[in-house]
Amino acid sequence: MPRPAPWRLLPASYPTTETMQTRFQDLDPMGHLNNVAFAALFENARVRFNQRMGSMNRERGFRGVVAQSTINYIAEGSYPEDVEIATGIGAIGNRSWEILAAMFQSGKIIATCDTVIVMTSSPGEPLPTAFRHRLEELRVREG
């Protein structure tokens, strides 16, 4: 199991950050944020990130779906404190790209998430050029 690289644990590596509220629903029987709650929070950060980028899953845009998502659980999360989710773009392929994220709580890293999105419309065609440029502008800063 490869652990996240050190730069993945630093807020400064990501171009955007968003504060997100935790909910009582997120707690598990141990009194910590549940593993699936991490997944829901990362998904929410990803959807909001995508909405700011436009183009995908919109009229006259193209369609993309999550093909793979990996969460590394680094420390326990608590309620009712907010979390900060930092997000940026990783590898960009011909018809796919990575959304890399990290979750912090009270200034401490608690998880990372690597998600691969794959374009499902326009078979055989590469990602639209304008969209690829937006992805490049939002790349993470590796170490």
The verdict on 61 binding a second copy (CB under 8 A) reads no
For residue 46, list its beta bridge partners.
none
Contact status, residue 22 vs residue 82, Cβ threshold 8 Å: yes
By rule CB under 8 A, what count of residues binds a second copy? Answer: 34
Return the residues of window 90-109 that contact a second copy according to CB under 8 A.
96
Q: Which phi and psi (to 5°) does residue 8 adopt?
A: -70, -20
> How far apart are the C-alpha atoms of 77 and 130, rounded to whole Å?
38
* 84: helix, strand or coil: strand
Note whether 68 binds a second copy by CB under 8 A: yes
- Nearest distance, CB of residue 56 and a second copy, angstroms: 13
44 binds a second copy (CB under 8 A): yes
Side chain identity at 22, as an amino acid letter? T
Omega before 128 within 30 of 0, i.e. cis: no
**121 is an interface residue for a second copy by CB under 8 A:** no
What gap in Å lies between CA 29 and CA 35, rounded to an integer? 12
* Chosen residue from 9, 16, 17, 40 binding a second copy by CB under 8 A: 40
In the bound state with a second copy, the residue whose beta carbon lies nearer, of 10 and 20, is 20
Residue 21 engages a second copy in binding (rule: CB under 8 A): yes
Return residues touching a second copy (CB under 8 A).
Answer: 1, 20-21, 23-25, 27-31, 34-36, 39-41, 43-44, 47-48, 51, 65-73, 80, 96, 116
